Structure 1
Amino acid sequence: MSAATKEQEVLAFERPEVMADRATHYCPGCHHGVAHRLVAELLTEMELVEKTICVTAIGCSVFLYNYLLVDSVEAPHGRAPAVATGVKRARPDNFVLTYQGDGDLASIGMAEIMHCANRGERVSVVFVNNTVYGMTGGQMAPTTLIGQKTTTCPGGRCREHEGMPIKMAEIIAGLGGTVFSARAALNNVKNIRQAKKFLKTAFEVQTKGLGFGFVELLSACPTNWKMNPVKANQRIETEMIPYFPLGIYKDLSNEGGVC
């Protein structure tokens, strides 16, 4: 490389210091890394790194603590909101974040997330929805779409047998303690930028002591969907977003919260 070429180089992308300098173990095309990056950028920009405590549960989301250099607690399957409640009440000056997948949050952890939101706990929840159990073999999740094939519904999810996919952002928005609930997607630059804005608001809801903040992120799982990353991104656009519309479902952040 010539000296002239080196002089023209501009650093366009830099890793936040709070992110560990290590190779990802996630499958090619998985969006967990994108979600991690957004969380890391916001913790840095909002000067929350030193006061953050992350709570993760079981599933692919549990490995967050391998990539973010902050204090972390691992909760039993689905119990991250309950553990986060205890952490926040014991350490009210800390920023408490849960990071969960759809199989964890919307299935075994449904009671925990509902009551945590309804009480208006001052925590922030990042909910990664890829419509399948990613770590444990690709089983049907509460958010699996009608007709989607999984290891436990090889013929495709059937409305008559398994019911409709659960829309968590809408459900959480209807609870009394929720200050902010929104859904974004991680399949293109435009949607990723929107996701960061939603996450920032959910984080600010906590830092201002207003109540509960929740952001659902539509994410790809190429391995269990049996697709390459390009087709997985397309599936989010053509199949997931029509059923799980993007946008803000509740925002009381400018109204002083709920209590």
Structure 2
Amino acid sequence: MEKILSRPKALKDFPLSYCPGCGHGIVHRLVAQAIDDLGIRERTIAVAPVGCAVFAYNYFNFDTTEAPHGRPPAVATGIKRTNPDKIVFTYQGDGDLAAIGTAETIHCANRGENITVIFINNANYGMTGGQMAPTTLLGQVTETTPFGRDPQREGYPINVCELLAGLKGTKYIERVSVCDAPHVIQAGKAIKKAFQNQVEGKGYSFIEVVSHCPVDWGKTPLEATKWVKEEMFKTFPLGVIKDETK
């Protein structure tokens, strides 16, 4: 019980800047716990995005660098190739990873870089006020889709996991959520496995976390959690999408 309640060493005692009810804090805890469990804190280097997690270097108790918008995979590639003994991961939102950084994401995955990617999907641009993102659901109202996302006008949501699974360079891809306790437990297992794969040199691992954004969605935390389960899971079904690490 003491281990469960205590703060992981990989997580600083620093106030988070995230909105009430946001999933980022939970995912930070899971990442930090996985790093502690694997004993890799002194070897770990994170690459923070431009987005809600832009201040990740304030929260993680290990080396963290910042990348231009959408470029964390390119920065992570450079760090990992010049320091192959380090454990390198990117932490990105849907705007950073699937919009501005689409090219970097795809080519890094296609090369099979031995890094870990943590992808937070909350179906909108959270930091800048809730505009439509590549993962915004059909019919979803955002600041830039006031009448709901129309596939004839804005296209369809991008299923990043399924897109990357078709690339030969990817080894482990799983979609999880942090909408309630059972899902948080599974998310923790997936994140730990993604880091373990890198430790063992098994290649590119990608974890998508279907998360909630109560403030920009205009919902209470409880309403947002319900919406994740009832709506987001339809478009982004959970589970292991690809696993070639066994």
Shorter-chain TM-score: what band? over 0.9
In structure 2, C-alpha distance between the alignment counterparts of 1:66 and 1:172, rounded to whole Å: 30
1:189 corresponds to which residue? 181
Could you tell me which runs of 5 or more consecutive residues in structure 1 were left unpaired when the two chains were aligned: 1-9, 255-259
- Identify which of 19, 26, 37 aligns with 2:18: 26
Structure 1 residue aligned with 2:200:
208
Instruction: Give, in whole Å, the separation in 1 of the partners of 2:17 and 2:27.
Output: 14
Structure 1 letter corresponding to 2:19:
C
Distance 1:18 1:193 in 2: 18
| Higher-Rg member (1/2) | 1
Aligned match of 1:46 = 38
Are positions 1:250 and 2:238 aligned together? Answer: no
Q: When the two structures are superposed, what TM-score results if normalisation uses the length of structure 1? A: 0.93
Partner of 2:111: 119
Of 216, 231, 236, the residue aligned with 1:224 is 216
In the aligned structure 2, how far is the partner of 1:36 from the partner of 1:64? 9
- CA-based RMSD of the aligned residues comes to 1.0
Cα separation, 1, equivalents of 2:167 and 2:48: 22
Question: 1:205 & 1:175 partners in 2: Cα distance?
Answer: 18
TM-score, normalised to structure 2's length? 0.97
Partner of 1:133: 125
Q: Check if 1:93 corresponds to 2:115.
A: no
Q: State the distance in 2 between where 1:16 and 1:201 align.
A: 18
2:108 and 2:102 map into 1 onto residues whose CA distance is 10
The aligned counterpart of 2:57 is 65
Unaligned runs of 5+ in 2: none
Name the residue aligned to 1:4: none
Counterparts of 2:76 and 2:31 in 1: how far apart (Å)? 17
Q: Does 1:145 align with 2:137?
A: yes
* Residue 240 (structure 1) aligned with residue 232 (structure 2): yes
Shift in Å at residue 23 of structure 1?
A: 2.1
Q: Deviations over 1:119-138 (max 9, x none)?
A: 00010000000000001121
Percent of pairs identical after alignment?
A: 51
Farther-moved stretch of structure 1 (14-23 vs 126-135): 14-23
